[in-house]
Every structure is written in structure tokens, then in C-alpha cells.
Amino acid sequence: MWLDSFLEDLEATFDLSGLQALILRLRDHYQVDHAVYHWISADGEQYGCGSYSPAWVQRYVDREYLRVDPVVIGCFRQFHPVDWRKLDWSSRAARALLEDAEAHGLGNQGYSIPIRGPNGQFAVFTLSHKCSDEYWEQFTLENQRNLILLAHYFNDRALTIAKGRTPVASVPLSPREVDALTFLAMGYGRAQVADLLNISEHTLRAYIEGARLKLNAQNTTHAVARALAEGLIVVGGAARAAPGDWPGRERPTAA
């Protein structure tokens, strides 16, 4: 069976060049345009292997697309595979990224699997292709189970190969820092968050800055992304403020 043989070869791989050869083999087996394993470290460093052109990889880094990429943001916020068609590409930055990506041959379809390893490690395993919606729907439906399995095997092998990149343990945030980052991740503006937490915007800034420093993040967006990746905050439920902190209002929940 092809999958068994491939996993045996993966387990026998001990360097990044071996992973690179295997991911190209996987791309050819599934007859897609691209296959990529992308490790995003907590400090923003990027590491991995795949079939994207060197020109596109360098352009992605130089333009700091990581900060606005709906695929990465979508994978940060959920544990299930992400179909690119269902992401929010409405912002100007996201549309510019999409146009640039298609110009570099990434295709109009994509399927990304978020992976969370030890101590907040985060990676994304992606296949992309140029094809119709109908073809891609059928392709992902038929191959989802094996792709999820392959994604986690790739990540396990990368962790073994790159032991020096294993992230350090997460730094604990205070309850108020968790609340602040959670509501920002849910899409609330700073004024709304301050009102919901019944604190001044000045105090809110102090909580956000404290969280940013603990997470060694470059800015607020990076702090939220790191907190999500490390499991310090979870979007989809209420924040951790006590009921007494919510005078006269119901606690909001994510859609």
C-alpha cells in the first residue's frame, strides 16, 4: 500500500533534504500543484519544506505576509482542516496576498491542516492546486483522513530532525491578560474590550503590553497569534472574567 510505504520512508528520514524529497513525492502522488509543510515558531521564524518556488518563499517573508495570511490566521483559530475557499479574503491585504500567490502559481484552491505540537509548537500542512470547486470538494472529501495522518507524521518527523527548534514552555498570562487577548482575538476593538472588562483603555493597554512582553511578540497581533498557537487563549467561548465583572450585561460569546 502506498501510504504504508511512504510512512516507512518518512520514519527513516533524518534530515530536511529527506523531508523535501518526500513532500515532492507526496505532491506527485496526489497530482496537485503544491505540497508544503510549514513550521511557524513562536518568535516568527519559519521553517519547513515544500514545492513553492524560492521566489515566492522569499517574497512571502520579505512582505511579511505571515501577519495577514488568512490561511495562517484560520489555522491558528481552529483545530480542523481549513479549506481556503471558506476563509475571509475580504480585506485589502488578504486580496493582495491572494493575487500575488496566484501570480506565483499557487493555484486557486488550497487545503491546510493545522498541527499543534509540544510546548505550543505550531505548523501547517498544505496542498494547493488549480482546479474547479467541484473537483477540489471531491478531492478533499476522499483524501482528508490520509492527509491529516500525513500532516501529523510530517510534524513528528520534523520535531525529531530539528530538536533545537523545539519551543520553550509557554509563559503564563494573568487572568486579565487572557481576557484582553481573548476579546481582541474575537474581533472586539480596544474601546469595546475596555468597556466589557470595566476598565480604562489605559489599564487595558497595560494588560496588552504585559502579555506582549511575556510572549516576546512584536506587536498586539503577534501576541494574539502566539497566545492562540500556544493554547493560552481559546476563541469560541467566553473569556475568564468572573460574573461580578459584568455589571448589567450578559457576557458575549463568539459567533
- Residues 238-250: tens digit of each pLDDT: 333 333 333 333 3
- Please report whether residue 71 resides in a domain: yes
- Does the pTM of the predicted model rise above 0.85? no
Strands in the chain per DSSP E: 34-40, 46-50, 82-83, 109-116, 122-129
Are 23 and 123 in a shared domain? yes
Number of domains into which the chain is organized: 2
Cα–Cα nearest to 5, from 19, 22, 20, 17: 22
- Per the domain annotation, does 253 fall within a domain? no
Q: Shortest CA distance to 16 belongs to which of 159, 217, 125, 210?
A: 159
Same domain membership, residue 116 and residue 63: yes
Residues 92 and 146 in one domain: yes
Asked whether residue 157 falls in the same domain as residue 208, the answer is no
CATH code of the domain containing 132: 3.30.450.80
252: in domain: no
pLDDT in tens, 141-169: 999 999 999 999 999 898 888 765 555 55
Helices (H), 163-216: 175-185, 190-197, 201-214
Long-range contacts at 107-110 (CB < 8 A, ≥ 24 apart): 107/32, 107/33, 107/34, 107/131, 109/84, 109/85, 109/133, 109/136, 110/71, 110/83, 110/84
Asked if 76 and 147 sit in the same domain, the reply is: yes
Q: Within a domain: residue 170?
A: no
Q: Domain check: are 102 and 208 in the same one?
A: no
Secondary element (H or E) of residue 153 = helix 133-161
Is there a single domain that holds both residue 158 and residue 207? no
Could you give the C-alpha distances from 40 to 17, 46, 96, in angstroms and in order?
18, 5, 22
Residue where one domain finishes, among candidates 135, 165, 195: 165
Task: State which amino acid sits at residue 18.
Answer: G
How high is the pLDDT of residue 1? 84
Is residue 255 included in any domain, yes or no? no
- Give the domain range for residue 214: 175-245
Higher pLDDT, 177 or 248: 177
Q: Rounded to whole angstroms, how far apart are CA atoms 116 and 111? A: 17
Residues 111 and 24 in one domain: yes
Cα angle 167, 123, 214; round to 5: 40
